[in-house]
A and B are shown apart, each in its own frame.
Chain A
Amino acid sequence: MRKILAFLFFIIFCGFLFFSVYELHTFGNPPSDMDDYIISNAQNQTGANNAVTSVVFDYRGYDTLGEATVLFTAIAGVMILFRKRRET
């Protein structure tokens, strides 16, 4: 019974995957013109040659702050887990 259920859910999951692949945009035709805007304006607006860095730290800087906060939280968790236990 469990194996039949697992196989059924596997078939459904594969159906969703194939459907999403079928619905993909054709290669080289992105649905928005955001990338053209960044390629033509990143060097003038941020002054950086590396457009990826200018997106990560300038256009999406707030998101990078969140990533740094995730790192901070992970370190706080590890420090709490591996702290020195006081012998009682």
Chain B
Amino acid sequence: MNDEGLSLIVQNIVSLLFPLTLIFAFYIIIFGHVTPGGGFQGGAVGASAVVMLIVAFGAKKIHGKMSHDNMSIFESTGALIFILTGLIGLIVASTFLSNFLVGEPLFGEIPPWGSNPGILNSGGILPILNIAVGMKVIAGLSAIVLLMALTMEGKKK
């Protein structure tokens, strides 16, 4: 038994719940243009899954698996995808972040007017932007909590 983190029961339950929470976060991000939710909300759910791991196992062990340098690379990749999508809109269509994918085969279907269940393969550039913002929020919030927890654990000794 390690001295950091919570008891064995909590660790087992958390390692059971962690993949389910991540799947729920990805569902909220990917279905952001059909159902309520989106990049920010799903990213907050995914970051809370990582925070659950940090609370249960201690920050040092989690930092060995995923360091905050990798997280900041992941977050910057999300920002780059966002800006590149906007620039492609500037080149292909007329304006920055214009929705150039409506009517194309990828994400291009247009749902009928009114309330309907919705099509996943629709929305133009909205799913791409949702995924980019989700990457940013997951990595960013987890990196913030991980850094703070590392500093607090270092101070306790």
Show the binding face of A for B, using Cβ within 8 Å.
40, 43-50, 52-54, 56-58, 61-62, 64-65, 67-69, 71-72, 74-75, 78-79, 82
Contacts and interface: CB of A to CB of B under 8 A. Distances in A.
A81 to B, nearest CB: 8
Interface in B71-120: 72, 75, 78-79, 82-83, 86, 96-97, 99, 102, 107-113, 116, 118-119
B46 interface: no
Contacts of A78: 143-144, 147-148
Interface of B: 32-36, 38, 40, 68, 72, 75, 78-79, 82-83, 86, 96-97, 99, 102, 107-113, 116, 118-119, 122-126, 129-130, 133, 136-137, 140, 143-144, 147-148, 150-151
Q: Label chain A's interface by main secondary structure.
A: helix
Contacts of A68: 78-79, 82, 133, 136
B133 A53 contact: no
Given A53-B126, A53-B130, A47 B147 contact: no
